[in-house]
Structure 1
Amino acid sequence: MFSMTGFGKGEYKADGIEISVEVKTVNNRYLDVAIKSPKIFNAYEEIIRSAVRERITRGHLDVFVNYIDKRERPKSLYVDAGAASGYCAAAKKLKDLFPGLADDFTLTALMRSPDVVRQEETQGADEALLNALQAALCKALDNLNAMRKKEGEKLSDDMLSRMDAVEKLVDEISARAPLVAAQYKSKLEERMKEILNGAAYDEARLLTEVAVFTDKANIDEELTRLRSHIAQFRNICREERVGRKLDFLVQEFNRECNTVCSKSNDLKVTDCGLALKNEIEKIREQVQNVE
């Protein structure tokens, strides 16, 4: 089992290339990947997304890429004519406003102005740089999954302990359920005797009323399904990517629990049903953190 939250970092340093990749994840219903990387890697974002999809199925991921390339590679200078024109116009306006000041605005000064001249590589990322990116990314994802798995084990232990509490409550309801009809029959007899003031009453009619009540209050099917869900839950927790399965199963738990509470005509069964709903809600909250 994997948690949907975690952090992983991977680095590559060799042959003048230094790349650092950081990945952090938070809960999300589907897989959503956001990439922040230098411009040189813009054309290769699908490589990053593909590597993520191989290891992760759900969650929002932020991928941060930083690099330093110390290799000797051909470079070119880009001149931003618009920025240069803006600086020249500003210099002329200042000269008109302050004619008494000496004018030392030269071509060299213009070249040193921000964004006028930028150094750019003549080509995009080469094979060595892409291999380094993939190596750093794989390390980051491996470290991320190691953290997510460790956290997932804790989530699994917590949910399984709560499932033990759920099973105990189901056992209590199962033990109590057969007594409900008998208590109803006893109360109904007392009520009829009180109303009839000791006169004889129709025993067959009484048994019919008890039978109708027993049928309406019968929760055997719901208890059987709850026990089946408990077994399924424990089996699913042994798997890895289980978030969607557990989402569905918790909904089924809630459905059966609601039916038990609606059929209940007994205070103890109702109390156990409400406690059961409380445990299921706590499990549901934890399931939201599972991939």
Structure 2
Amino acid sequence: MSTLSGMTGFGRAEGAEGDWSWSVEARSVNGRNLEVRFRGPPGFDTLERLAKAAAQSRLNRGQVTLGVQASRAAAGAAALKVNADILARYLTLANQLAEEGATPPSADGLLSLRGVLEAPEEVDDPETRAAVEAAMALAIDQALDALKISRDREGSQLLPVVTDFIDRIAALVAQAEREAGTQTEAIRERFTRRMSELAPDAPGLEERIFLEAAALATKADVREELDRLTAHVDSARTLLQQPPAGRKLDFLMQEFMREANTLCSKSATTALTGIGLELKAVIEQLREQVQNVE
């Protein structure tokens, strides 16, 4: 049996290869479908495709944000070069100022001027770049695995909460079934009283009361709604054992509420109306929890 998962979670991984080091963070929140957003270091464009494929292989729903922060060790002082052209310009200007009485420049001062020292741009050979990229992709997998564990943990916490709401709905449906059995008699008594008040001496009153009450009872029959609610409870319990269930549970919540609304509109007793209203409240609470299920 698969584990019920939530959609909120966090995962992190770190790695290093050569003079490169990086950290990966993966976050997710609720979402109707799976949406993956990726932000990676410049020059590693293929990582986005790999990251999205890795997320899709692990997750079904949710808004996922993947970020890779990478840095490279600074080049040593021996790798620095002096830009002779810029240095010559600074020296010319410095000599002119010295002739006017300014302090002659020092070597340290000249070297600290902008553009005099240059760090050559480091370019990885294809083999080195491929190794770094593969190591980053592995860190992305590790962060996504950690995210999945986090979401599964949320799912394990959601399962008893969702199950409890489904059990409460089942109990309310059972109450409604018991109360529904009194509807016909309640309708008959109400109609008899009203007809007796309006036309106490009308011929054939008893027969008319029986026929009208029977018609009203037929309109107020809620057995189909209760049968469908019972079937929805069974479906919900089955779905919890067959994740990912979020989308199907979302749809089932709409069906639950439709039957509860009809139950309330057909109710002929205050007690049944009260059960229907409580049923709607519990269904809404369950719907809010289902929004967190993958």
TM-score between the two structures when normalised by the length of structure 1:
0.81
The answer to whether the Cα contact below 8 Å between 2:186 and 2:268 also exists between their aligned partners in 1 is: no
- In the TM superposition, structure 1's runs of 4+ consecutive aligned residues that sit over 6 Å from their partners are 99-103
Structure 2 distance, partners of 1:102, 1:221, is 100
Deviations 1:132-162 (A, max 9, x none): 1222112111111111111112112101101
Residue 140 (structure 2) pairs with residue 152 (structure 1): no
Aligned residues: 271
- Out of 266, 275, 289, the residue aligned to residue 263 of structure 1 is 266
The answer to whether the Cα contact below 8 Å between 1:3 and 1:155 also exists between their aligned partners in 2 is: yes
Report 1:46-125 matches (<5 A): 46-68=49-71, 109-111=113-115, 119-123=121-125
What amino acid maps onto 1:55 in structure 2? Answer: R
The answer to whether the Cα contact below 8 Å between 1:192 and 1:201 also exists between their aligned partners in 2 is: no
Report 1:187-206 matches (<5 A): 187-197=190-200, 201-206=204-209
Displacement of 1:279 after TM fit? 0.5
Equivalent position of 1:81 in the other structure: none
Q: Report SS of the residue matched to 2:5.
A: coil
The answer to whether the Cα contact below 8 Å between 1:264 and 1:270 also exists between their aligned partners in 2 is: yes
Structure 1 distance, partners of 2:242, 2:71, is 40
Displacement of 1:28 after TM fit? 1.5
TM-score between the two structures when normalised by the length of structure 2:
0.81
1:122–1:182 Cα change, 3 Å: same
The answer to whether the Cα contact below 8 Å between 2:110 and 2:116 also exists between their aligned partners in 1 is: no
Q: Report SS of the residue matched to 1:111.
A: coil
Structure 2 distance, partners of 1:219, 1:253, is 14
Displacement of 1:118 after TM fit? 7.0
The answer to whether the Cα contact below 8 Å between 2:250 and 2:287 also exists between their aligned partners in 1 is: yes
Runs of 5+ unmatched residues, structure 2: 81-85
Equivalent position of 2:250 in the other structure: 247
Structure 1 distance, partners of 2:116, 2:136, is 33
Q: Report SS of the residue matched to 1:41.
A: coil
Q: CA RMSD in A?
A: 3.2
Structure 2 distance, partners of 1:112, 1:207, is 107
Residue 35 (structure 2) pairs with residue 32 (structure 1): yes
1:15–1:109 Cα change, 3 Å: closer
Q: Report SS of the residue matched to 1:119.
A: coil
Structure 2 distance, partners of 1:145, 1:171, is 38
- Out of 271, 277, 282, the residue aligned to residue 280 of structure 2 is 277
The answer to whether the Cα contact below 8 Å between 2:12 and 2:24 also exists between their aligned partners in 1 is: yes
1:186–1:285 Cα change, 3 Å: same
Structure 1 distance, partners of 2:101, 2:285, is 77
